Copies of this chain bind each other. A is one copy, B any other.
Amino acid sequence: MTAAQGFVAGGTAAGIKADGSMDLALVDAGRPVSAAAVFTSNTAAAPPVHLSRRHVADGSARAVVITSGCANAATGEAGMAAAQRVAELVADYLGCEPTDVLVCSTGPIGTDLPTDRVAEGLTRLRMSREGAADAAQAILTTDSHPKESVARGQGYVVGGMAKGAGMIRPDMATMLAVITTDARLDAGTLARSLRRAVSRSFNALNIDGCESTNDTVVLLASGMSGIEPDAQAFEEVLEGVCRDLARQMAEDAEGASRVVTIELSGADDDATALALARAIADSALVRSSFYGADPNWGRLLAAMGATRLPLDPDAVTIAYAGVVVADGGVDAGADLDLVAEKLEDDFTVSIRVGDGPGCCELLTTDLTPDYVVFNGERS
């Protein structure tokens, strides 16, 4: 994330998490730079989301502060005051305006953020290019390891970090990402590029169908490379970083034993394709069959049918790991024992629903007993 010129970062243990691990991260561009962000569409969005949405509205920001161990969600007016206080504390620390600070929080919902600990934590923070690793560590909650990615364009760099291992679904449930670049781009181009890259990466990831109150992806552009890239070329590099981070999240999903890629084609349009693929990835019954390495294509058909979107069952073809198991809506006579053997590791399910141009690719995981046990524990 500090691979792009102009950025420093740091992470420390502020005492928000009870176990004393790192829980405060800061990324700083040194001065207000072009900025864009995409936020959760959950109507119960947390105070830091509301605050950051206001602060980035002018297309400019200097720093992103992330606290982990407390989502500061469902905290009412006190929560909004706490988010504001965090922005002020960071502004004092950096010597900038609070409105140039974006605030993200992640962790359990419904508990108050201890801003005095954030204040104390800031006194221990060391900001540097090497601090990116600490920052990537400090934003984690149930993740098993940090997630970072870097890609190079023509004369510029895009880098990022992310967290998120559960409660992840399209529109980014409990996931946070901060992406930086030293390309020179105006805020409008940044916002458009980010929206498109997010839709094809983080929003094409569906772990457990749960959407959170705090999801945020921030993109800051320092311009320090002096390169003003073609918007389309930049978007491709950005999308690569986003997809890499999304894949890392899927691989680290709570309790998951394999990543399943759902390719769906032949729908009337891309939106329909995505709705059908999401219905599959939302189904506990389907995801249990992924866990059992069972090519139970009938459940996929039932899940798509339950959306009530136009669907001609007789036009549906389904392949697991490249083997067609259903053709024209009926059993294709494949040797399911042989197919099952191919499902022991990550695999792809390819579904064709007709002759339309709409298609999509969605990442999900299997549903496992470990997921249930993990998420049944008192938080």
Interface residues of A (CB under 8 A from B): 41-45, 71, 73-76, 78-79, 108-112, 166-167, 169, 171, 173, 208-213, 282-285, 288-289, 291-294, 296-299, 301-311, 313-314, 326, 328-331, 336, 340, 367-379
Contact = CB atoms under 8 A, between A and B. Distances in A.
Q: This chain: how many copies in the complex?
A: 2
A371 B376 CA distance: 14
B44 A311 contact: yes
A371 B288 contact: yes
A73 B298 contact: yes
Which of A310, A374, A378 has the largest count of B CB atoms less than 10 A from its CB? A378
B372 A291 contact: yes
Given A76-B328, A76-B329, A308-B41, A376 B294 contact: yes
Contacts of A71: 298
A43 to B, nearest CB: 5
A314 to B, nearest CB: 6
Contacts of A303: 210
Contacts of A379: 294, 296
Contacts of A297: 74, 110
18 contacts: A42-B306, A43-B309, A44-B311, A71-B298, A74-B298, A74-B313, A76-B314, A110-B298, A110-B301, A209-B284, A213-B298, A284-B372, A285-B375, A292-B376, A294-B376, A294-B379, A296-B379, A369-B372
Contacts of A301: 44, 73-74, 109-110, 213
Contact of A44 (B45, B283, B313): B313
Given A213-B301, A311-B43, A379-B296, A208 B285 contact: yes
Contact of A210 (B306, B313, B372): B306
A372 B378 contact: no
Pairs A-B, 10 closest by C-beta atoms: A109-B298, A292-B376, A44-B305, A369-B369, A288-B375, A211-B306, A42-B305, A110-B298, A291-B376, A44-B313
Contact of A308 (B43, B78, B285): B43
A373 B377 contact: no
A172 to B, nearest CB: 11
Contacts of A109: 298-299, 301-302
A301 B111 CA distance: 13
A284 B212 CA distance: 13
Given A371-B284, A375-B285, A110 B308 contact: no
A376 B78 contact: no
A372 B76 CA distance: 37
Given A42-B305, A76-B314, 12 more contacts: A43-B311, A44-B301, A45-B305, A74-B326, A76-B329, A108-B298, A110-B331, A210-B303, A212-B302, A288-B374, A294-B379, A369-B370
